[in-house]
Amino acid sequence: MELNKLTIEQAGEGIRKKDFSSVELVSACRDAIARRDGTIHAYLEVFDDALTEARARDKEIAAYGGDARRAMPPLFGIPIAIKDNILIQGKLCTAGSRMLADYTASYDATVIARLKKQGAIFLGRTNMDEFAMGSSTENSAFGPTKNPHDPGRVPGGSSGGSAAAVAADMCLGALGSDTGGSIRQPAAFCGIVGMKPTYGGVSRHGVIPMAASLYQIGPMARTVADTEILFHAIAGQDPHDAVSMEITNHNPPAGGHTTSAGLKGVRVGLPREYFGTGLSPAVEQAIRSAIKVMEDAGAVVREISLPHASLALPTYYIVVPSEVSADLARFDGIRYGGIRNKELGIRNLYDIYAQTRAAGFGPEVKRRIMLGVYALSAGYYDAYYVKAQKVRTLIKEDFENAFEDVDVIAGPTTPTPAFRIGERRSNPLEMYLADIYTVAVNLAGLPALSLPAGFTEQEGSRLPVGLHLIAPRRADQRLFDIARAVEALLLAR
């Protein structure tokens, strides 16, 4: 039995039944990291104290006199990977940037505190696009991550390290962050499940910010059920995050997950705008095949329209840079980071700001800061930012109108399979198009999930394709219920 390839459900049951120990489980993951991560580079740091934590969990199990299967939480003793923009007290947290290369977290993010309460074990920090700005994990200041299915291709981004770690069996689950598809797109590229919660459903306290009105922390795992377990462990209102809230019916029954009621009568909407120009024929074929499986199982599939879908990407790339320019102002070379030195030729306060930000930020971060400052500047604020917010409202209304007639919206997560490393770095617009189906969800604050829908052959590589499911606001549980039923059908094909 290869313990690192177990699901969270299977591993949790095995630990509680004492079929194997948490130490053995963590060791299996660390062995996989030693074998594979030299090529993939999913981790920026593997924590030395993971085995110490595992021993502590095993002692708790041994000392417990009752039925551990009932008493221990679902994530007790389970090794999890954490994206490197989520604070873990006493650990480095760089957000993939030179600006924070020496920054050590002074407290735990709320999601980390909640996972610690469950008894989860943190294996290490995963690589990411700098400050979560990117779709390929090529923007990391510490080198790119590679796709486990083909090391010549990207794993997606910005949570590419987390996705690759799960796909390569180097952890049992992971946390990522999603501002415009940064969980779902790498999940699709790497053939795993990734879920972006309703905006406010998971606290962002202790997460290095990017664009405050859009980003969410979310779970990544091999199965929908595992992803749901992680979600329920971290979800809920937090006094440290003013937009956080309880998600209706988000508490799972005993056992850690709900049971599927099937797809009979579930109304599935297919936006005609998501099946047009730019969609790879191979991806469309895989998605259409998955939709046919859903329809054969009793789902009621109908074509719908999201009239402003074509405006989502340009709207996103006005709103996000505008918020980025404000959110990243705190990284001024004084309060954070260790960039400042004699070689930069700093003579005054202006030099501290200008020189350390020039040295600390990478090209994509600088690009977005400049775009945002321009969009918010006098004479352009109304023409760009205000207009983008008005279009954002129209996009949100499109979804609200659609959900009057359907229970869930389905389509491709990405227009193509994973592209080659370096293929799009010189063309930012082409890179941004990788998120064309995912950004609208963040603009509208909806929950969405990507799950594996099959594979396609590309130049000798067998690459995963992701099915994107979108649910109404606060219908996160509905999303999981439908996704589990779909997953079971697709696995049974």
Q: What is the pLDDT of residues 358-379, one digit of tens each?
A: 889 999 999 999 999 999 999 9
Q: ω into residue 260 within 30 of 0, thus cis? A: no
Average pLDDT of the residues in 292-310: 97
Residues 327 and 209: beta-carbon distance below 8 Å: yes
Q: Is the pLDDT of residue 255 over 80?
A: no
Confidence grade of residue 256 (pLDDT, cut at 50, 70, 90): very low
Q: What is the pLDDT of residues 399-446, one digit of tens each?
A: 999 999 999 999 999 999 999 999 999 898 899 999 999 999 999 999
Residue 424 CB partners (closer than 8 Å, separation 6+): 136, 430, 431, 434
User: What is the distance between the alpha carbons of residues 372 and 364, in angstroms, rounded to a whole number?
Assistant: 12
pLDDT of residue 1: 83
Is residue 240 within 8 Å of 465, Cβ to Cβ? Answer: no
**What pLDDT score was predicted for residue 66?**
67
pLDDT in tens, 224-242: 999 999 999 999 999 999 9
Token pair of 269 as six digits: 């909407």
pLDDT one-digit tens code per residue, 122-152: 999 999 999 999 999 999 999 999 999 999 9
Q: How confident is the model at residue 460 (pLDDT cuts 50, 70, 90)?
A: confident
Question: What is residue 342's predicted lDDT score, i.e. its pLDDT?
Answer: 56
Give the pLDDT of residue 259: 40
Element (H, E) at 123: strand 121-126
Tokens of 340: 């400042």
Tell whether the model's pLDDT for residue 250 goes beyond 90: no
Q: Is 38 exposed, middle or buried (0-12, 13-18, 19+ CB in 10 A)?
A: exposed
Residue 103: is its pLDDT beyond 50? yes
Task: Tell which residue, 364, 315, 358, has the closest CA to residue 333.
Answer: 358
Q: Which amino acid is at 92?
A: L
Q: Label residue 449 left, alpha or beta by phi (over 0 means left) and psi (-120 to 50 means alpha).
A: beta
Average pLDDT along the chain? 93
When pLDDT is cut at 50, 70 and 90, the band that residue 65 belongs to is low
Residue 172, token pair as written in the block = 């049992």
Question: What distance in Å separates the CA atoms of residue 314 and residue 312, rounded to the nearest whole number?
Answer: 6
Catalytic residues: 83, 158, 182
- Measured distance CA(355)–CA(335) in Å, rounded: 15
Using pLDDT thresholds of 50, 70 and 90, give the confidence band for residue 341. low
Beta bridge partners of 431: none
Pick from 125, 128, 143: nearest CA to 185: 128
Question: Is the model's pLDDT at 200 over the cut of 60?
Answer: yes
Q: Which CATH entry fits the domain spanning 3-234: 3.40.50.1970, 3.40.50.720, 3.90.1150.10, 3.90.1300.10?
A: 3.90.1300.10
Among residues 125, 127, 52, 114, the alpha carbon closest in space to that of 92 is found at 125
Instruction: Name residue, tokens 């006094």.
Output: 239
Non-local (6+) Cβ contacts of 477 within 8 A are: 247, 248, 249, 250, 258
Which has more confidence, 107 or 257? 107
- pLDDT-above-70 percentage for the chain: 94
Q: Which pLDDT score is estimated for 262?
A: 86
Sequence-distant (6+) residues with CB within 8 A of 397 are: none
Going along 154-262, which residue ranges are E strands? Answer: 173-178, 193-196, 216-221
Contact (CB, 8 A) for 240 and 271: no
pTM: 0.95
Kind and range of the H or E run holding 349: helix 349-360
Please report how many Cα atoms fall inside a 13 Å half-sphere around the Cα of residue 118, on the Cβ side: 26
Contacts of 296 by beta carbon, 8 Å cutoff, 6+ apart: none
Q: Is 10 exposed, middle or buried (0-12, 13-18, 19+ CB in 10 A)?
A: middle
Helix and strand counts by DSSP (H, E) for the chain: 16, 11
Query: What is the predicted pLDDT for the residue at 91?
Result: 98
HEC sequence for 247-295? CCCCCCCCCCCCCCCCCCCCEEEEEHHHCCCCCCHHHHHHHHHHHHHHH
The more confidently predicted of residues 370 and 68 is 370
Residue whose entry in the numeric block shows the structure tokens 């664009």 = 211
